[in-house]
Structure 1
């Protein structure tokens, strides 16, 4: 995993991220467009984390903090890079960000039908809250 690099997205990454999500993410969102991603980066430049291996995008996660709760979206790993620790590294970086901001719990939006993602979130220590269809993990400061 030494060749994996985690960094924040920049405005120049928007098109690459959108193309990546079309290939690697499960489903799409209403905000999966150039303006939506650009707005995210402009509003919170550290929220969209990218994992790169050999200069290629291997994974993404959005680690948003609203001042009260920590929200995780768009955890996606390219099929060629799955089961190699990319998601683990992205979630660790997101949790470090949250801890630095004073966040105490991470909430993840995960599609009910995405069993592969359920396994990944569970392996990362998140537990599903069935009444809300979300996955949460307490974060220690």
Structure 2
């Protein structure tokens, strides 16, 4: 694990992030485009945490903070880097960010059909809250 580097995203990472998520993340979102990811990085580059080995993306997480709640998105690890502590390192960095910002609880968006992702979140101490249902509406 000592060869793992964590860093914040830069505007130059937008295309590489989109390519990485196509191979390492389950599913896509309507905001998974250059404009959407570019806006996120321009607004809060530290929210996008990238794990690299030898200059290659091996993991990401988006640790969003709206001033009130902590939200986690796009926890993704390259298939050949799974079960090597990458997700744990990313979540530890996200949790440190949240605590420094004053956050008290983090929530994660996990697709129901993503069994691998669900097991990773459970291993990190997250659990579904059955009293909540996620409702969404595309804007625009």
Q: Please state whether the residue corresponding to 1:45 is helix, strand or coil.
A: helix
Which runs of structure 2 are paired with 1:71-86 in the superposition (5 Å)?
Answer: 71-86=71-86
Q: Supply the distance in 2 between the matched residues of 1:57 and 1:45 (Cα, whole angstroms).
A: 16
Residue 124 of structure 2 is matched in structure 1 by 124
Unaligned runs of 5+ in 1: 135-141
* TM-score of the pair, normalised by structure 2: 0.93
Unaligned runs of 5+ in 2: 135-140
Q: Supply the distance in 1 between the matched residues of 2:86 and 2:129 (Cα, whole angstroms).
A: 24
Q: Supply the distance in 2 between the matched residues of 1:115 and 1:80 (Cα, whole angstroms).
A: 17
Residue 4 of structure 1 is matched in structure 2 by 4
Query: Number of aligned pairs?
Result: 134
Residue 63 of structure 1 is matched in structure 2 by 63
Compare the two structures and name the one with the higher strand fraction.
1
- 1:41 is aligned to 2:41: yes
Residue 100 of structure 1 is matched in structure 2 by 100
Give a deviation string over 1:88-138, Cα, whole Å, max 9, x none. Answer: 00000000000000000000000001111111001001111123257xxxx
Q: Supply the distance in 1 between the matched residues of 2:132 and 2:60 (Cα, whole angstroms).
A: 24
